[in-house]
Amino acid sequence: MLIKGIKYSFYMIFARLKGLKYEHIKKTKGIEAATEYATKSIYLWSKFTINIIGMNIKIVGKENIPKDACVFVGNHTSILDIPVIFYSADRHIGFISKKEVLKVPVLSYWLERGKCIALDRQNPRDGVRMINEGVKNLKEGYSMMIFPEGTRSLDGKTLPFKKGSMKLAIKAKAPIVPVTIDSSFTSFEKNNKFKPSTVIVTFHKAIETANITKDEEKDLAENVRNIIISSLRDEYKN
């Protein structure tokens, strides 16, 4: 494990140095080309992270991901959920994350350049900014990802969704793709040590929000949560 840790540290230094190329692309070819490079860099980091830990990612329902921008909504049990989703979806995704994530060295650099939006959960008004920025990203063709529980559950079970967690998709009139991440916590949180495990990622059929009624909107968060839970192993269903 020590050798793997050293190898990973060198990779992260290399990943940060790739930022020089990002800045060059941004200066010479523009922000869209630079963002595309950031997406590729984040995917490669995700793949390297998964491989070095020894995670076996099984992907189900990838054909359910729309061609156009959408809002991925998933359960959250592990710090590894971000690389797992980037790897599994293999497309540009801007994450809605707590601001603390953007304090992580190297990762913060790339997430900021990959349309990630940091949310200050201590400031209720910051949610408005998050939604507005997220809608802008979606309108520009960049998909977004949100974990409506607001924190990791750590035991594989799904916590209640935060009130208003579907507002981003509704305001942008973007389809919602429920995502079940089954057992990612077993690769770290279960024993606070990185170890190999099998994780099943299920992309469910998209839910359109363009013409959603007020009654449908009231039940949307709970319906999405139930869809996500439906693909968890029985011991993690609640």
pLDDT digits (tens, 9 = 90+) for 190-228: 888 899 999 999 999 999 999 999 899 999 999 999 999
Residue 1's pLDDT band (cuts 50, 70, 90): low
What are the structure tokens assigned to 38, written together?
A: 């950031």
**The dihedral sign for the CA sequence 187, 146, 98, 219:** negative
- pLDDT averaged over the chain? 92
pLDDT digits (tens, 9 = 90+) for 86-142: 999 999 999 998 887 777 888 889 988 999 998 887 777 888 889 999 999 999 999
More confident site: 127 or 143 = 143
pTM assigned to the model? 0.94
Q: Is the pLDDT of residue 230 over 90?
A: yes
Q: Identify which of 134, 133, 93 has the alpha carbon closest to the alpha carbon of residue 110.
A: 93
Contacts of residue 23, Cβ cutoff 8 Å, sequence gap at least 6: 34
pLDDT of residue 158: 95
CA angle 147, 198, 116 (to 5 degrees): 30
In the block, tokens 């189900």 appear at: 60
What are the structure tokens assigned to 183, written together?
A: 């057992």
CA angle 71, 168, 183 (to 5 degrees): 45
pLDDT of residue 168: 95
pLDDT digits (tens, 9 = 90+) for 17-66: 999 999 999 999 999 999 999 999 999 999 999 999 999 999 999 999 99
Q: Which DSSP category does 161 fall into? A: P
- Give the integer Cα–Cα distance in Å for 159 and 52: 29
pLDDT of residue 217: 92
pLDDT digits (tens, 9 = 90+) for 145-194: 999 998 898 889 999 998 888 999 999 999 999 999 999 999 998 888 89
Going by their DSSP bridges, the two strands 117-119 and 71-74 should be labelled as unpaired
pLDDT of residue 118: 86
